[in-house]
Structure 1
Amino acid sequence: MHPAFSVVFFTTATGAGYGLLALLGVLAGQGFIPPDFWLGLTGMGLALGLISAGLLSSAGHLGRPERAWRAFSQWRSSWLSREGIASVATFVPAGLFGIGWVVLGRTSGWVAVAGLLAAIGAVATVCTTGMIYASLKPIAQWHSRFTLPGYLIFSAMTGSVLLNALLQGFGVGSAAVLACALLATFAGWGWKLVTWRYNDRLEIPTTANTATGLAGGTVRSIEWPHTEENYLLKEMGFRIARKHSAK
């Protein structure tokens, strides 16, 4: 496979950003993290920076980026549209939470409520991202019960690792946060192994005959499907095809 770098960066950056935002919104709002100015500025800046960078990079794999706004109108049937709406809506409570923490120096009261709403929005956005892939029925490896939890686990994993590094850097780290980061990392590793094991044992009902509609005999492929690079893909699929598309 040749996924666009923007897709990889988007998934990684926003997953980590939303994971960190959710943890900051809950823990700081409940008083587990001190309302320090520099801690809040760095933490919220890192979380919102990762989210913004990831969302901006997502325009890189759109055929017509200038039409991205139209995706918001398809929220009734499109998980991509719901993702866009959730991501934008989350900025509102996240911004209020950041202002309350950094500018006003408090994380209680209405600021805590804003932090909780930001955490809910972050989780909802990650869920919509996972459902984009989990809803693709033609790809059985994605259309499974492992996809959505995997997105949530990896977001929590990267977010907790960033939070632990942040708190340790400001000298307010705790053994509980470190333990949670390690636990989330092992959970992500274990979930990935379970997912790979499931995919290896997956029996796909679709065959070459059902895909082509030819029932008179057995349809055989000259070359089996694959995900790695080879000469034909590199020369015919990428180099020559891109040369013709540029004309």
Structure 2
Amino acid sequence: MHPAKSVIFFTTASGAGYGMMIVLALLASLGVLPREAGFGFATFGLAFTLIVAGLLSSTLHLGRPERAWRALSQWRSSWLSREGLAAVIAFVPLGLFAIAWSFNLVASSTNVVLGIVGAAVSLVTLYCTAMIYASLRPVPAWFNGWTVAGYLVLGPMNGAVILAFLLDAFDADQATAITRLLALVMLIIGLGVKMAYWRRIHTSAPVSTAGSATGLGHLGRVEMTGSPHDNDNYLLREMGFRIARKHADKLRRITVWSGFIIPMLAMVYGLVFPFEPLTLLFAVIGLVACQIGVATERWLFFAEAKHAVTLYYGEQAV
């Protein structure tokens, strides 16, 4: 599948924003989230910026972006529509949570309730986003539970890594330690999920072949003798993307090291040496590395997926 930059940015940025909100709600429920206006503006502001920027970016991949609002009416049958509705609904509790917490407008217990509701809707939004891809039977690489697990884990994981840096910058020692530990756990789980996903898409038996797609498999090996078209078309642009195995292996190594291992080391260093001068620097390194790794993982998620329609364009199996 074509790894469109707008969709990669959407899934990376919005996932991180919702992940930040989920972690912020958790910290609030534990009673360790700082109640400072400056901290509130920085953290909630960044989270909302990531969410909104990601959602706006997703509309750029539509044929008619100005009609994106019409997709909300198809919620009965479309996961894209459900994701859009969940995203809109999430703004209500998340916005109230951000404003009330930053300006200390209501009791902590009320804020916690708002945060928990917002976190729950954020998880629903991430789930709906995952199901946009996991519901596509013609793309076997996506049509499995590991796709959903990846979205539900990587968003909060990325959000925790970002918050670990912000909390450290604001000298919120207790919240920083908890967030580092949470980020470390999520990074370990995230790495496990991605390894399982890659193992599945590379070891599972093909769901369909050129023979089964054409109904000629009983006659022997089916191969294409000529291209169905003499020029490029929409199907080839959007679903016929190919990546060499050696390049995919290289990008997977970048994903593992940059997206998981380096941030893990940064979190461990911060937990072991919380007050060292280099701790904040390592937090920055872990943060930047994580963003590079997650973006690379998103690119691979699309680039390695094969649509069944490519069987009619020379692909032997999907």
Give the TM-score normalised by the residue count of structure 2. 0.68
Tell me the distance in 2 between the aligned counterparts of 1:52 and 1:217.
53
- Paired residue for 1:81? 81
* Structure 2 residues not aligned, in runs of 5+: 227-239, 246-318
1:40 to 2:43 alignment: no
CA contact (8 A) 1:41 1:102 kept: yes
Pairing 1:49-198 to 2, within 5 Å after superposition: 49-104=49-104, 108-173=108-173, 174-198=176-200
**Does the alignment pair 1:208 with 2:224?**
no
Residue 109 of structure 1 aligns to a residue whose secondary structure is helix
User: Which residue number in structure 1 is paired with residue 263 of structure 2?
Assistant: none
Counterparts of 1:15 and 1:110, CA distance in 2: 25
Write the mapping of 1:2-21 to structure 2, written as runs, cut at 5 A.
2-21=2-21
Q: Distance in 2 between matches of 1:29 and 1:43?
A: 16
Counterpart position of 2:281: none
Q: Deviations over 1:28-72 (max 9, x none)?
A: 244121211111111100111100000011111000111111111
Alpha-carbon distance change, 207 to 28 in structure 1, aligned in 2, over 3 angstroms: same
- Structure 2 distance, partners of 1:225, 1:44, is 37
Q: Deviations over 1:91-135 (max 9, x none)?
A: 011111111012335561322221111111111100000111110
| Cα RMSD for the two superposed structures | 2.1
Corresponding residue SS for 1:42: helix
Deviation of residue 205 (structure 1)?
3.1
Contact preservation (8 Å) 2:2, 2:241: no
* DSSP-derived class of the 2:60 partner: helix
Instruction: Name the CA distance, whole Å, in 1 between partners of 2:241 and 2:81.
Output: 31
The structure 1 segments of at least 4 consecutive aligned residues displaced by more than 6 Å after TM superposition are none
Q: Mark the runs of 5 or more structure 1 residues left unpaired by the alignment.
A: 230-247
Q: Percent identity?
A: 46
Partner Cα separation in structure 1 for residue 79 and residue 122 of structure 2: 15
Contact 1:93-1:114 within 8 A present in 2 as well: yes
Residue 220 (str. 1) matches residue 236 (str. 2): no
User: Is contact 1:146-1:195 (8 Å) kept?
Assistant: yes
* 2:206 partner SS: coil
User: Which amino acid in structure 2 is aligned with residue 188 of structure 1?
Assistant: G
1:193-228 residue CA offsets vs partner (Å, 9 max, x unmatched): 111111111112312122123356231246998435
User: Residues 140, 216 of structure 1: CA spacing in aligned structure 2 closer, same or farther, 3 A cutoff?
Assistant: closer
Normalised by the size of structure 1, how large is the TM-score? 0.86
Q: CA deviation at 1:7?
A: 0.5
- Residues 222 and 172 (structure 1 numbering): CA distance in 2 closer, same or farther, change over 3 Å? farther
